[in-house]
Structure 1
Amino acid sequence: MKKVGLYFGTFNPIHIGHLAIANHMVEFSDLNEVWFVITPLSPFKKKQSLLDNHHRYQMVYEAVQDYRKLKPSTIEFDLPQPNYTVDTLMHLNEKYGENYRFSLIMGEDNLKNFHKWRNYEVILEHHYIYVYPRISEGQRENLFDRHPKIQLVEAPIMEISSTFIRKNHGLGKNVRPLLPEKVWKYMDEMNFYR
């Protein structure tokens, strides 16, 4: 059985922090692959700074080309809007059957709000969650302490954000070191976030 970690995000743009976390998860846990699940541009809320789906997919594709255990995924592009993780997981299980075990990858900051997710109990009943550390305030919910399906992975703390990159690139700052080289080239050629 192939164990796949699902790393959800807008990846607007994908940066070296995303890659470092995903690579750490696949090298230092029992996961065989990590799929970057690109959250689609919602037709209901147009966010001016959010690039079209195909551009964000292309940047993820460029970023992971040299990593055989990391894959881009467009699975949510064709699902009904708005996307709920529980529905995406159900769709993946139907599509790939029993040969795959899908787990979620999330930051410690997201775990604090996990109890507010739609059908979070169903997700926990059928899937594992791999949690990486984040610098965050507040405590996580006690109901997740020592939960058998939640695995804390000692990963590097990455405090790089796509928001920071977009904002500072727009201000003319050099953000190139924060991006995989191929992502930088694509972003620069397309004149994104200026």
Structure 2
Amino acid sequence: MTGLFFGSFNPIHNGHIQIAKYLLINHLCDEIWFVISPHNPLKKNDTLLTENKRLEILEAALTGEKNIQACDIEFGMPKPSYTIDTLNKLSANHPEKTFALIIGADNLRNFHLWKKHEEITARWPVFVYPRPGIDISAISHTHITKIDAPLFPLSSTEIREKIEKGEDITDFVPAHAIKSILEYYRQFL
């Protein structure tokens, strides 16, 4: 099974990598594709680094990672990006693969707002990883699996704030991506 980890990855951080590795180590997925979303329709777009720079950072971050890769399929699709459209396109392009969706607990709380969310859960398994301070214990669905992945105490927003304040981020982002993260976000913020 190929896990599709959607996100803006603005920037990618070690928590994202840990979740992917958890899914691989626990044999829930055989491979993980990080699908960069150029524009999430449920989020503001004003703090997003360009999609090509985020892809460059993501590819650097994944250097040496086994069975984990970047996917830029949404770059050529209409914006804003809707997960159902991407899932349909990937399934059509790769009929030999079985896909699963990977989302955070924060996204599960808003899942009912997603375009064709019922179709997503009917056609593809959904893995939900925990987010600090978000309780999803009352949410239950037959095609949604809550995974016990490790919590990462920092978000991409907080990493951007640390960069803006000139604070050290080396413990929070993949080593291969530090140089480009600092270069691009210092110019952007």
TM-score (norm 1): 0.88
Q: What is the CA-CA distance between 1:138 and the residue it aligns to?
A: 5.2
Q: Which amino acid aligns with 1:104?
A: L
Farther off after superposition, 183-192 or 81-90: 183-192
Structure with higher Rg: it is 1
Segments of structure 1 that go 5 or more residues without pairing to the other structure are none
The percent of aligned pairs where both chains have the same amino acid is 35
Question: Within 2, Cα distance between the matches of 1:186 and 1:158?
Answer: 22
Instruction: Assess if the C-alpha contact under 8 Å between 1:13 and 1:59 holds in 2.
Output: yes
Q: What is aligned with 2:179? A: 185
Cα distance, 1:134 vs. partner? 1.8
2:114 equivalent to 1:122? no
1:161 has 2:158 as partner: no
CA apart distance, 1:174: 1.1
1:39 to 25, 37, 46: 37
SS at match of 2:10: coil
Please say if residues 129 and 150 of structure 1, whose CA atoms lie closer than 8 Å, have aligned partners that are also in contact: yes
> What SS class does the counterpart of residue 36 from structure 1 fall into?
strand
Q: For residues 139 and 72 of structure 1, do their structure 2 counterparts lie closer, same or farther at Cα, with a shift above 3 Å needed?
A: closer
C-alpha change, 1:46 and 1:151, in structure 2 (3 Å) is closer
How do 1:1-194 residues align onto structure 2 when only pairs under 5 Å count?
A: 3-41=1-39, 47-97=45-95, 99-137=96-134, 139=136, 144-145=139-140, 147-190=141-184, 191-194=186-189
Matched AA of 1:184: I
Which is further off, 130-139 or 19-28? Answer: 130-139
When the two structures are aligned, how many residues end up with a matched partner? 186
Query: Post-superposition shift, 1:26?
Result: 1.6
Q: Aligned-pair distance for 1:176?
A: 1.8
CA contact (8 A) 1:167 1:193 kept: no
How far, CA to CA, are the matches of 2:173 and 2:77 in structure 1? Answer: 29
Instruction: Provide closer, same or farther for how the CA distance between residues 48 and 115 of structure 1 changes in structure 2, counting only shifts above 3 A.
Output: closer
**Matched-pair contact (CA < 8 Å) for 1:166–1:193:** no
In the superposition, the TM-score normalised over structure 2's length comes to 0.90
1:148: Cα distance to partner?
A: 2.6
- Greater than 2 Å deviation, 4+ residue runs: 45-49, 135-140, 187-194
